[in-house]
Amino acid sequence: MNSITKNLDLHAQGSWLPILLSLLVFIYALFMPKQEIGWREFYVTFGIVGYFAWISDSLLGEMIDLVDFGNPNFAGIGEFLSYSLIPSSLSVIYLNYLEKTNKWKLTIIFTIISILIEWGMRSVGYMKPHGWSFFISIPLYFVVFAFLLPFHRKLIKCKSG
C-alpha cells in the first residue's frame, strides 16, 4: 500500500491543489449546460487539448526540464490530473461560452484563470519552475484562448443541413 501512495505522489507538497482543481473544472465542464458546443465538440476538444497538454509536458517538463510538478522523477496523480483534466476542461468551458460578442472578454477572463491556477500551484510548492516564467505563460495562455481555440472550434464545428 505504501508503494501505491508513493507512486501516486500523494505526499508531494501541495498535491491537494491540482487534484482539487482538476476535479472541480472537470465536473463543471461535464455538467455545465451545453450552449455553444455539443457533446461531439466536447469529446474532440477534450482529446485534442489533452494530447497537446501531454506533448507540452513531455517537451517542456521532461526533455527541456523547464518545470517540475511534485516529484521530478515520475508523474504522480496530481501531475496526471493537471495535464489530463485542467487544460481540456478549461478549453471546453471556454468554447461553450464563446460567442463573437464576448471573445475578448472571455479571452482575458480565461487567461487570468489560467494564470491564477499556475500561481496557486507555484504558491503551494507543487509547481517548481526551472526557467519557466509568467513571461512565457501569459502570452501562451492569451494566444491559446484568443486564437488557437477559436480556430479549433471552426475546424470541428458541424454544419447541419
For residues 95 and 35, is the Cβ–Cβ distance under 8 A? no
Q: What is the pLDDT of residue 71?
A: 85
DSSP state of 31: H
Per-residue model confidence as pLDDT tens digits over 18-27? 999 999 999 9
The values of phi and psi at residue 139, to 5°, are: -65, -35
- Measured between alpha carbons, how far is 142 from 147 in angstroms, rounded to an integer? 8
- Measured between alpha carbons, how far is 84 from 117 in angstroms, rounded to an integer? 15
Regarding predicted confidence, which is higher, 57 or 75? 57
- Confidence at 161, pLDDT banded by 50, 70, 90: very low
14's CB contacts (< 8 A; 6+ apart) are: 78, 121, 123, 124, 125, 126
